[in-house]
Amino acid sequence: MNVTPEEAQEALAAIQQTTVKTRRGLAYYAYQQILWGLLWFVGFLISQFVQPATLNWIWIVMPILGVIGSAIVGISQGRCMRITPDSRLAFISSRVGMFFGILYGFGIIWFVVLQPLKALQIALFWITLVMFGYIVAGAWLRISLLIGIGVGVTVMSLLGYYLLPGYFYLWSAVFAGGTLLGSGIYILLRWR
């Protein structure tokens, strides 16, 4: 078959356009990252400026919104794509999901047992717990970005906790929430 250079260029452009459109539309993990980054950012930002008594409500509502949002993302993406059943990727994916489920379960146990905790300690506890998950998942899956996010946010959170306790929530909004949000957007834009 004969294809002119112009036709070849058109075909390659169509391939690129379709590739970008597909990846942007089905970037499940990027959307989840953006969702939770936004919730952390808003949650910590509000926490900086409200009365301590309101903090409990914020951090009950935010995770609920996160779970609802995650379910919406999961269901809408699930209609468009899925991991091949019984594949190696399905096995790995289920194990990662199981790991995070167990991690959060133990997080709740530790949270209850370690009471009473101060408000800042509670915030740092959950931030570092989630980042522990990122680091382990990153090491397991060999995804250096996850490890970088986990280590970076942990270090910055510890710095904020010890050096700027009066502004820790604001600090966390930027360095914890902002990092998740920014990295999610980065993944979305770079995966093309």
- In the complex, the residues that contact another protein under the rule CB under 8 A are 1, 3-5, 8-9, 11-12, 14-15, 18-19, 21-23, 25-26, 78-84, 87-90
Residue placing its CB nearer to another protein in the complex, 12 or 155: 12
User: What does the alpha-carbon distance between residue 125 and residue 157 come to, in Å, rounded to a whole number?
Assistant: 10
And the tokens for 137?
């998942």
**How near is the Cβ of 76 to another protein at its closest, in Å?**
10
Closest CA to 174 of 50, 78, 164, 72: 164
**Residues with Cβ within 8 Å of residue 158, at least 6 apart in sequence:** 124, 128
Nearer Cβ to another protein (11/158)? 11
Comparing CB distances to another protein, the nearer of 81 and 163 is 81
CB of 11: closest distance to another protein in angstroms? 5
Of 75 and 112, nearer to another protein (C-beta) is 75
Helix 28-49 and helix 178-190, axial crossing angle in degrees, nearest 10: 160
Min dist CB 8 to another protein, Å, is 4
The nearest distance, CB 44 to another protein, in angstroms, is 33
Residue by residue, DSSP assigns 141-160 as HT-HHHHHHHHHHHHHHHHH
Q: How far is CA 138 from the centre of its chain?
A: 12
